């Protein structure tokens, strides 16, 4: 099977075969980024625009680095100095980027569906770097990649996601991604932080952290998204941390092979204790490294360049 899609908007839209192509391509790029010379000419002459209308550290920087490692030209757009502040619509801004012959637009936006609107109206490739509560597909792909680096297969693994699932685009992408790849997925949170009817997507719900993580091979923690309009849906942050935070004491009671993941940014002392975040079972910084390889793979695949060309020095 070869890659045919122009855009990457949602894990929901990807087949298992398409997910596998991205993971296989990322594996080759992971080898590349560990070499002394990390740059290839795969996207020479192409231009990638980064348009982040919400804050980001990991996703924006790793997309910029990924594009540069592939020799693309990179345009960083600052929303506060763009003509969006003068009333230009998102689509008109994007049409201007296309008029400048930009090949790929990587966009983060607070509204679900924003990336899809651009994908439907432009010839340029659109990559969704997070849209509201909807999806964050590249985060899910780097999570799948990281688990596979540490476990032989995803099929049959027990994974538990703990935290503010209601507001989390990472959780939504991972629900699609992990279940498509055959993972037994449990979601754990307070009832107020779980979307209604989410179990219809083939996941188990557990409100008790100890029970939810008892047999987990992988535990993914999520922060409370204080910046969202509905804010904290819990009596207090301290109480939330007591009930749903992963402490070093609790971790000691689990399978010592259980892996700890978090998409970042982490809120130490709330959803994760420092000893857990920095401990030997934590893959948090491996996730960041793998994000670079996965984003190189996605930029390369969406460019439509033949396989083989992308790895040539």
* Binding residues for ligand CP (CB under 6 A): 56-59, 130, 136, 139, 263-265
Minimum CB separation from ligand CP for residue 52, in Å?
8
Q: Which contiguous run of DSSP H or E holds residue 51?
A: strand 47-52
- Which residue, 69 or 184, has its beta carbon nearer to ligand CP? 69
Spatial strand order of the sheet with 184-188 comes to: 204-206, 184-188, 158-162, 218-221, 259-261
Contact 194, 222 (CB under 8 A): no
- Which residue, 104 or 220, has its beta carbon nearer to ligand CP? 220
Bond into 265 cis (ω within 30)? yes
- Which residue, 47 or 287, has its beta carbon nearer to ligand CP? 287
- Which residue, 122 or 170, has its beta carbon nearer to ligand CP? 170
Contact 164, 225 (CB under 8 A): yes
User: Phi and psi at residue 205, in whole multiples of 5°?
Assistant: -115, 135
Alpha-carbon Rg for the chain, nearest whole angstrom, is 19
Minimum CB separation from ligand CP for residue 288, in Å?
8
Minimum CB separation from ligand CP for residue 263, in Å?
4
Minimum CB separation from ligand CP for residue 253, in Å?
28
Minimum CB separation from ligand CP for residue 130, in Å?
6
Residue 13 to residues 9, 17, 173, 214, 252: CA-CA distances in angstroms?
8, 12, 10, 32, 38
What is the C-alpha to C-alpha distance for residues 67 and 55, in angstroms, rounded to an integer? 19
Q: What is the DSSP letter of 87?
A: T
Minimum CB separation from ligand CP for residue 232, in Å?
19
- Which residue, 122 or 284, has its beta carbon nearer to ligand CP? 284
Residue 152 to residues 85, 145, 155, 157, 195: CA-CA distances in angstroms?
49, 11, 9, 10, 31
- Which residue, 42 or 178, has its beta carbon nearer to ligand CP? 178
- Which residue, 168 or 186, has its beta carbon nearer to ligand CP? 168
Closest CA to 284 of 223, 231, 224, 238: 223
Residue 110 to residues 32, 62, 115, 134, 273: CA-CA distances in angstroms?
33, 20, 10, 9, 29
- Which residue, 52 or 300, has its beta carbon nearer to ligand CP? 52
- Which residue, 139 or 220, has its beta carbon nearer to ligand CP? 139
- What SS3 class is residue 170? helix
Minimum CB separation from ligand CP for residue 266, in Å?
10
Q: What is the DSSP letter of 278?
A: T
Minimum CB separation from ligand CP for residue 108, in Å?
7
Minimum CB separation from ligand CP for residue 58, in Å?
4
Residue 101 to residues 70, 97, 293: CA-CA distances in angstroms?
18, 7, 25
């Amino acid at each position: 099977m070869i890659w045919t899609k122009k855009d990457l908007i949602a894990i929901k839209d990807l087949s298992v075969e398409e997910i596998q192509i991205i993971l296989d391509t990322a594996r080759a790029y992971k080898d590349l980024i560990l070499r002394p010379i990390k740059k290839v000419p795969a996207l020479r002459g192409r231009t990638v625009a980064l348009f982040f209308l919400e804050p980001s550290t990991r996703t924006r920087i790793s997309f910029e680095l990924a594009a540069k490692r592939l020799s693309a030209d990179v345009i960083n757009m600052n929303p506060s100095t763009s003509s969006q502040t003068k009333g230009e619509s998102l689509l008109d801004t994007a049409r201007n980027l296309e008029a400048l012959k930009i090949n790929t637009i990587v966009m983060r936006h607070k509204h679900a569906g924003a990336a899809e609107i651009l994908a439907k109206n432009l010839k340029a490739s659109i990559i969704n770097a997070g849209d509201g509560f909807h999806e964050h597909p590249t985060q899910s792909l780097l999570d799948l990649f990281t688990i596979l680096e540490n476990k032989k297969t995803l099929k049959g693994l027990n994974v538990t996601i703990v935290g503010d699932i209601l507001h989390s685009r990472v959780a939504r992408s991972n629900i699609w991604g992990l279940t498509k790849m055959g993972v037994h997925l449990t979601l754990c949170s307070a009832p107020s932080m779980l979307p209604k009817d989410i179990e219809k997507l083939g996941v188990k719900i557990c409100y008790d952290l100890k029970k939810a993580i008892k047999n987990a091979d992988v535990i993914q923690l999520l922060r409370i998204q204080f910046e969202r309009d509905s804010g904290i849906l819990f009596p207090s942050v301290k109480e939330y941390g007591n009930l749903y935070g992963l402490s070093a004491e609790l971790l000691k009671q689990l399978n010592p092979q259980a892996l700890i993941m978090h998409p970042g940014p982490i809120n130490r002392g709330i959803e994760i204790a420092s000893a857990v975040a920095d401990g030997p079972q934590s893959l948090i910084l491996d996730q960041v490294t793998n994000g670079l390889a996965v984003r190189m793979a996605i930029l390369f695949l969406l460019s439509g360049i033949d396989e083989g060309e992308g790895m040539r020095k």
